[in-house]
Amino acid sequence: MRYEIYIDVVFFTNLLIDYILLRFIGTLFKCAGNRKRAFAGAVMGALFSCGIIYLRFYLKSEVYLPALVLLHGGCAAGMLVIGCNLKKGGLLLKAILTLYFAAFLCGGFWEVIAGENLTPKLFLILGTATWFGSAAWSYLADSIRIRTKNIYPITIFYSGKGYSFYGFYDSGNLLIDSVSGKPVSVGTTEILSEICSEETVNCLKHLKENPEELKEAETVGLNPHFIFFHSIGREHGMMLAVTLEKLCIQTPTEVICVDRPVFAFSFETSAFGKEYDVLLNSRLL
């Protein structure tokens, strides 16, 4: 049996699907990706799909399947690093599995609807339906988090860029910054690592021991200082507080925006849940 494969059709089909999947994964995992990064990752995936077609003619049948598995895994990791800026081992592995599961469901959906009669018009309709379906799923997941667990999607702005995370509404967090008088939310140090340069994070981490290092323009702009805290478990101490540009909290009814929000960070081991990165101050909601 003889098949005709149009490489341009293979490329553009995979480009669209990979872009939709990367945007979906980025939304689901709240990654610091954007449309340009997702498009670049999708181009990589589409080129890989085209290359695999030619590769099967040069590999022996006994090594083709193991090579295919390894190459697909490497391609998926590369797409997620480029498209979603995912670099952590455990999170990257979870994203790879989610990517392939979503691709499996998406491919099955397309095959059931279109079969072998995939016209350009049907291709665009299915692509649009897949996009809106993934967006609806993401919205539903966020709604469940908000209504059942008090976990809200939040966006932190710094240096003109927005970074997406999840924040937990902590009714017991009434911490106030003694310097600015503003409510203080408590975040994980991973937030600092994502929005600031490595040099800035190291400077902030050792600010207490080396206050003379507070010379860098970026560090000064954060207005770093220390605040005292006292928890219900009678723990007390000091945390580093910084001032960022803006905080937006997505609630079921509105988006709450806070200018110049204050965030506190502890570089010691914290007991944050796996589903959120910030303990939102109760005064913000």
pLDDT, tens digit, for every residue of 26-43?
A: 777 766 556 788 888 888
pLDDT band for position 78 (50/70/90)? confident
Spatial distance between the Cα atoms of 41 and 35, rounded to a whole number of angstroms: 10
Q: Is 234 left (phi over 0), alpha (psi -120 to 50) or beta?
A: left
For residue 140, what is the DSSP state? H
The number of angstroms, rounded, from the C-alpha of 99 to the middle of its chain's C-alpha atoms is 13
For residue 283, what is the DSSP state? G
Clarify whether residues 177 and 260 are in a common domain. Answer: yes
Q: In the block, which residue shows the tokens 């994980």?
A: 188
Spatial distance between the Cα atoms of 279 and 282, rounded to a whole number of angstroms: 9
Clarify whether residues 155 and 113 are in a common domain. Answer: no
Clarify whether residues 240 and 109 are in a common domain. Answer: no
Q: Residue 275 sits in which domain range?
A: 150-284
pLDDT band for position 263 (50/70/90)? very high
Query: Does some domain include residue 246?
Result: yes
Clarify whether residues 208 and 241 are in a common domain. Answer: yes
Query: Does some domain include residue 173?
Result: yes
pLDDT band for position 66 (50/70/90)? confident
E strands present in the chain: 151-158, 161-170, 184-187, 225-230, 236-243, 246-250, 255-259, 262-265, 278-281
Clarify whether residues 140 and 36 are in a common domain. Answer: yes
pLDDT band for position 221 (50/70/90)? confident
Q: How many CA atoms lie within 13 A of 170 on its CB side?
A: 22
Q: Which residues pair with 165 in a beta bridge?
A: 154
Burial (CB < 10 A; 0-12, 13-18, 19+), residue 223, is middle
E strands present in 197-273: 225-230, 236-243, 246-250, 255-259, 262-265
Clarify whether residues 178 and 209 are in a common domain. Answer: yes
Query: Does some domain include residue 103?
Result: yes
Q: Give the model's pLDDT for residue 184.
A: 92
Query: Does some domain include residue 1?
Result: no
Q: Give the model's pLDDT for residue 247.
A: 93
The answer to whether 42 and 15 are in contact (CB under 8 A) is yes
pLDDT greater than 70 at residue 169:
yes
Query: Does some domain include residue 2?
Result: no
Clarify whether residues 220 and 144 are in a common domain. Answer: no
Q: In what order do the strands lie in the sheet with 151-158?
A: 225-230, 236-243, 262-265, 184-187, 278-281, 161-170, 151-158, 246-250, 255-259
Among 96, 126, 148, residue at a domain's last position? 148
Clarify whether residues 225 and 260 are in a common domain. Answer: yes
Helix (H, G, I), strand (E, B) or coil at 240: strand
Clarify whether residues 224 and 274 are in a common domain. Answer: yes
Look at the chain and report how many structural domains it folds into.
2
pLDDT greater than 70 at residue 16:
yes
The C-alpha torsion from 258 through 157 and 251 to 128, rounded to 10°, is 150
Clarify whether residues 229 and 140 are in a common domain. Answer: no
Q: In the block, which residue shows the tokens 């966006």?
A: 155
pLDDT greater than 70 at residue 145:
no
Clarify whether residues 120 and 187 are in a common domain. Answer: no
Among 124, 148, 172, residue at a domain's last position? 148
Query: Does some domain include residue 252?
Result: yes
Least reliable range by pLDDT among 36-50, 150-164, 212-226: 212-226
Spatial distance between the Cα atoms of 169 and 152, rounded to a whole number of angstroms: 8
Helix (H, G, I), strand (E, B) or coil at 230: strand
Q: State the amino acid at position 38 in one-letter form.
A: A
Among 100, 132, 148, residue at a domain's last position? 148
Clarify whether residues 267 and 230 are in a common domain. Answer: yes
